[in-house]
């Protein structure tokens, strides 16, 4: 079954620690996205990548970093510079046609210890 | 800059009622509009995608319409069921840029 796998489902971060959220897709999609969701805030775009070895900042990139070394993988690192990382993180992907729907993973919930 | 608004933020209806969710947007230069459903603690599931050249799309009890000239889309849910309870989000695609999302309407269908 094709889809997007996010891991872990729950993650806890200590003060000053970097943590990495995994996102893997087997849909052969070129474009991948990371969103942050807070209660009442809707979805906010962190980073996106439209092709391997290339990515762009979204609306709230500060304190986050990404890499896109493989088409199927787009990991997100939440660095210690992100002072309020507690949120629900969603990864998504889309094929190379603008008229293809965007697909989402089941999310990772990050909390501070 | 594209802005997407969904009103109301929350809606509660009795089971069996037909209902309409609204989505408005400021820039009519779009490729398509997508409606999603999100259950608590889960990711988004794509329900319907309407291309800019289309007026509506249907899937089962769901019907989505698009009126670019007025900057509006509606999602019609027929004969609502408790299992329809979720948050419904609309998103606009303006081309080679990421989707722009509304904040969603939280729907509760009461048995």
Q: What is the mean pLDDT of chain A?
A: 94
pLDDT tens per residue, chain B (111 residues)? Answer: 899 999 999 999 999 999 999 999 999 999 999 999 999 999 999 999 999 999 999 999 999 999 999 999 999 999 999 999 999 999 999 877 899 999 999 999 999
Tokens of A33: 């996205």
Phi, psi (deg, nearest 5) at residue B83: -65, -10
DSSP letter (8 states) at residue B69: T
- What would the mean pLDDT of A24-53 be, rounded to a whole number? 94
Nearest to B31 among A4, A99, A103 (CB): A99
- Per CB-CB distance under 8 Å, the chain A contacts of B32 are 98-99
Nearest to B103 among A42, A98, A105 (CB): A42
The DSSP annotation for A8-45 comes to -SEEEE-TT--EEEEEEE-S--SEEEEEEEETTTEEEE
- Per CB-CB distance under 8 Å, the chain A contacts of B102 are 42
pLDDT at B89: 97
**Closest CA relative to residue B90, chosen from B23, B3, B1:** B23
**Closest CA relative to residue A71, chosen from A54, A95, A52, A89:** A52
Length of chain B: 111
> A58 vs B98: CB contact, 8 Å cut-off?
yes
> What number of C-beta contacts closer than 8 Å exist between A and B?
48
SS3 B103: coil
pLDDT at A15: 85
pLDDT at B97: 84
- Higher-confidence position of A16 and A56: A56
Q: Using one digit for the tens of pLDDT, what is the confidence trace for A53-106? A: 999 999 999 999 999 999 999 999 999 989 899 999 999 999 878 788 999 999
| Rounded-to-integer distance, Cα B111 and Cα B80, Å | 10
pLDDT at A1: 65
- What would the mean pLDDT of A7-31 be, rounded to a whole number? 94
Nearest-CA residue of chain A relative to B49? A101
Residues of A with CB under 8 A from a CB of B: 4, 6, 33, 40-43, 45, 48, 50, 58, 88, 90, 92, 98-99, 101-107, 109
- Per CB-CB distance under 8 Å, the chain B contacts of A103 are 46
**Closest CA relative to residue B40, chosen from B7, B80, B87, B6:** B87
Nearest-CA residue of chain B relative to A88? B41
The DSSP annotation for A75-101 comes to -EEE-TT-S---EEEEEEEE-SSTTSP
pLDDT at B32: 93
Are residues B53 and B109 in contact, defined by beta-carbon separation less than 8 angstroms?
Answer: no
B62-67 and B56-59 beta bridge pairing: antiparallel
pLDDT at B47: 97
């Amino acid at each position: 079954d094709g889809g997007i796998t996010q891991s872990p489902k729950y993650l806890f971060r200590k003060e000053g620690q970097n943590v990495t959220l995994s996102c893997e897709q087997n849909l052969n999609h070129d474009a991948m996205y990371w969103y942050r969701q807070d209660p009442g805030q809707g979805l906010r775009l962190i980073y996106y990548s439209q092709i391997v070895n290339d990515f762009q900042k979204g609306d709230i990139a500060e304190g986050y970093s990404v890499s896109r070394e493989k088409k199927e993988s787009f990991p997100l690192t939440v660095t210690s510079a992100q002072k309020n990382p507690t949120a629900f993180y969603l990864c998504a992907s889309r094929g190379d046609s603008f008229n293809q729907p965007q697909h989402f993973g089941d999310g990772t919930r990050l909390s501070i210890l | 800059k594209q802005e997407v608004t969904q009103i109301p933020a929350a809606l509660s209806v009795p089971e069996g009622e037909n209902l309409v969710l609204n989505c408005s947007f400021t820039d009519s230069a779009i490729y398509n509009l997508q409606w999603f459903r999100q259950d608590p603690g889960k990711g988004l599931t794509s329900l319907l995608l309407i291309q800019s050249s289309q007026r509506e799309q249907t899937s089962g009890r769901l019907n989505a319409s698009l009126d670019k000239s007025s900057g509006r889309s509606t999602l019609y849910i027929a004969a609502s069921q408790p299992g329809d309870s979720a948050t419904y989000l609309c998103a606009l695609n303006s081309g080679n840029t990421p989707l722009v999302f509304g904040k969603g309407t939280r729907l509760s269908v009461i048995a």
